Structure 1
Amino acid sequence: MRYEILGPLRITNDEGTRSIAARKIEVLLALLLIRANQVVSTEEVIAEIWGGCAPDRAIAAVHVYISKLRKMLGLDAQGDSPIVTRPPGYVFRLGAAGFDVDDLQALMREGRAHLRGGRHRPAAHAFGEALRLWRGPVLGDAVSGPVTTSFVTWLEEARLECIESLIDSQLHLGMHRELVGWLFTLIGEYPLRETFYRQLMLGLCRSERQADALRVFHIARRTLNEELGLEPSRALQQLHEAILRADERLEVDAAA
């Protein structure tokens, strides 16, 4: 059995891949997966499914949803349901089942370790594999209450870290020309993310487009000033000054 939430929630087993049509049961499974191996109280389930508009018989409805979910997931190799009743609620035992978020975290740990050690090729591979786990918006339509909403925010930050780290490694590997187009797209999607401006400036500079790199700095300065009333970070300003000086150190990584 494998559970995947880096996109619409789906379950894969020997019989194939399936999704859950009933939205409230889908939200329940999403919550249990996010909090796998921890007790999730009935009150938390109610808040996630209904928010502040729970019906009078919400507790009874939760019992029904749990029963349906147990039937849907079946039994493990030991003949037990992965969902265990444990006051004040339930525990979802992941056991030997696969979970794409666990795979993501393992790849990110691997990538960070390679990055810290200056091993940019395996770092780029690890972060690239992590990004390939995404299939679309996390959890699809199953984002409902505070737990799933916070989890999606955390995963979006994780995805951006993977992108930034992948690009840093690829810049070290001399792939600046290949990255320029993607980075222009990224600053359009994330106009307040200074890392992408820095990476784009460096990529343009190494592509013998110093004038374009300087223009990107001014775009970043104007955007940050208009949106937040801030000046660019020290790292961005230092890169701007290095480009103006035609600092030879900007080319060291590309040569490597």
Structure 2
Amino acid sequence: MRRTTEHLKISRWGNEMRYEILGTLRIVDEGRVVTIGARKVETLLTALLASVNETVPSGRLISELWGNKAPRRASAALHVYISQLRKTLKKSRCDSNPIVTTPQGYMLTLAGDEFDAREFQQLVELGRRRAREGRHGEAADVLGRALALWRGPALLDLCDGPIIYGYAARLNEVRLECIELLVESSIELERHREVIGRLYSLVTDHPLREAFYRYLMIALYRSDRRAEALAVYQKARDILRSELGLEPCQSLRDVHQAVLTDTALLVGGARL
């Protein structure tokens, strides 16, 4: 397929670093995995990555590293950790360093370096556009590539502070949206049988996310498993009532009614 400006630059540049946080934190430099070891320095790098190309005030970094138990010489200790991080990230092939000191604090600049979270978000945005355009084959391909970047839960062992916790929560929310978009495109491509198993796992892992119940009902119905589709609705209704005291949302009720009456209905781009 001819490459256009819409396609992302996912190529690996020989003299660039790659930061990866979709899983445990790691840095890849010319194919070599760079380890940090010190937890405070790992936390510092992750907090800077969460606000990449933007200044993070020193006070916020101190709170991220120590919470409300900052030592008396916290600013000096932060400076030491910044120096250690600079040494880790320094590239012998150039004089510049990605850690920049500003009057307010510190900033990590990516320049040409790669960052898996940014790549993931760009792929999701491209997949979202393709799905809206009805180009579901391309959407499914792009969204699948986005999900393949994940090696495990994002920053699971570094989520003590507000910067990293909030950033990881946003990434995980985008990941769930990516999964929803991929399932929707798969159903549009008549791959409904292929997504049933995954959707059963998703409703177990995310019992309050109604979109997964909706897509599971559609996939089951289109696979001639109408009774199971109705059972899924009842399960969703029971969980929502017991956990939140709520009835299912309108779109989920619409799918339930369509399954009951064999009525054609557009739901999330999928026709029953």
TM-score higher than 0.5 = yes
Structure 1 runs (4+) greater than 4 angstroms displaced: 252-255
> Are 1:124 and 1:166, in contact at CA under 8 Å, matched by a contact in 2?
yes
Q: Which has the higher contact order (CA 8 A, sep 6+)?
A: 1
Instruction: Give the helix-richer structure, 1 or 2.
Output: 1
Partner of residue 221 from structure 1, selected from 237, 249, 252: 237
Q: Which residue of structure 2 lines up, in the alignment, with residue 142 of structure 1?
A: 158
Displacement of 1:147? 0.5
1:207 matched to 2:223? The reply is yes
Structure 1 residues without counterparts, runs of 5 or longer: none
- SS for the counterpart of 2:134 is coil
> Are 1:112 and 1:123, in contact at CA under 8 Å, matched by a contact in 2?
yes
2:104 is aligned with what amino acid? Answer: P
Number of residue equivalences: 254
Measured in 1, the distance between the counterparts of 2:75 and 2:149 equals 35
1:103 matched to 2:122? The reply is no
Q: Which residue of structure 2 lines up, in the alignment, with residue 53 of structure 1?
A: 69
- SS for the counterpart of 2:100 is strand
- SS for the counterpart of 1:69 is helix
Q: Which residue of structure 1 lines up, in the alignment, with residue 202 of structure 2?
A: 186
- SS for the counterpart of 1:7 is coil
Measured in 1, the distance between the counterparts of 2:225 and 2:31 equals 54
Residues 239-254 of structure 1: matches in 2 within 5 Å?
A: 239-248=255-264
Partner of residue 57 from structure 2, selected from 35, 41, 54: 41
TM (norm. structure 2) is: 0.89
Measured in 1, the distance between the counterparts of 2:134 and 2:102 equals 46
1:114 is aligned with what amino acid? Answer: R
1:237 matched to 2:258? The reply is no
Displacement of 1:253? 5.6
Measured in 2, the distance between the counterparts of 1:131 and 1:244 equals 34
Structure 2 residues without counterparts, runs of 5 or longer: 1-16
Give RMSD over aligned pairs. 1.7
- SS for the counterpart of 1:237 is helix
Displacement of 1:78? 4.2
Partner of residue 67 from structure 1, selected from 58, 83, 102: 83
- SS for the counterpart of 1:90 is strand
Aligned-residue sequence identity (percent) comes to 47
